[in-house]
């Protein structure tokens, strides 16, 4: 299996992100802390291992890490996230 087979899109964890944030996160814009480019969360690369890691599709910088533990989820965010919540 090549590295290429191991990653998907942020879209693939849209359900988990909606559960955590209460809104659809795939259309949320993130500006990368390293390269400065803007991408929607759904367009980020998703790597699944012991946890979940979202990376910038332009420079591979880590955008989000999610550790799923028995009693909680631990999120680490990097970069500039612009989240709009209706209301």
Partner 1 sequence: MARAALLGRLASRIRWQVATVRDLREETAETRTLVLDVPDWRGHLAGQHVDVRLTAEDGYQAERSYSIASAPESPKLELTVEHVPDGEVSTYFVEDLLVGDRFEVRGPIGGHFTWRVEDGGPLLLVAGGSGLVPLMAMLRHRAARGSDVDARLLLSARRLHEVIYRDELAALGDVGVSITLTREQPDGWQGFGRRIDAEMLEAVGPPPASAPRVFVCGPTGFVEQAADLLVALGHDPGAIRAERFGPTGG
Q: Which residues of this chain interact with partner 1, rule CB under 8 A?
A: 1-2, 4-12, 14-15, 18-19, 22-24, 26-27, 40-43, 48, 86-87
Residue 71 Cβ vs partner 1, minimum distance, rounded to whole Å: 17
Measured distance CA(40)–CA(73) in Å, rounded: 22
Residue 64 Cβ vs partner 1, minimum distance, rounded to whole Å: 15
SS3 content of the chain, % helix, strand, coil (to 5): 20, 35, 40
Residue 8 Cβ vs partner 1, minimum distance, rounded to whole Å: 5
Q: Closest Cα to residue 51, out of 69, 35, 67, 36?
A: 67
DSSP structural state of residue 13: G
Nearer to partner 1 (CB atom), residue 15 or residue 36: 15
Nearer to partner 1 (CB atom), residue 8 or residue 74: 8
Nearer to partner 1 (CB atom), residue 18 or residue 67: 18
């Amino acid at each position: 299996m090549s590295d290429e087979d191991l990653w998907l899109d942020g879209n693939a964890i849209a359900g988990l992100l909606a559960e955590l944030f209460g809104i659809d996160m795939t259309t949320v814009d993130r500006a990368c802390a390293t390269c400065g480019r803007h991408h929607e969360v759904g367009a980020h690369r998703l790597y699944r291992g012991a946890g979940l890691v979202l990376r910038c599709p332009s420079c591979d910088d880590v955008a989000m890490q999610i550790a799923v533990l028995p009693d909680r989820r631990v999120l680490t965010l990097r970069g500039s996230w612009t989240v709009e919540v209706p209301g």
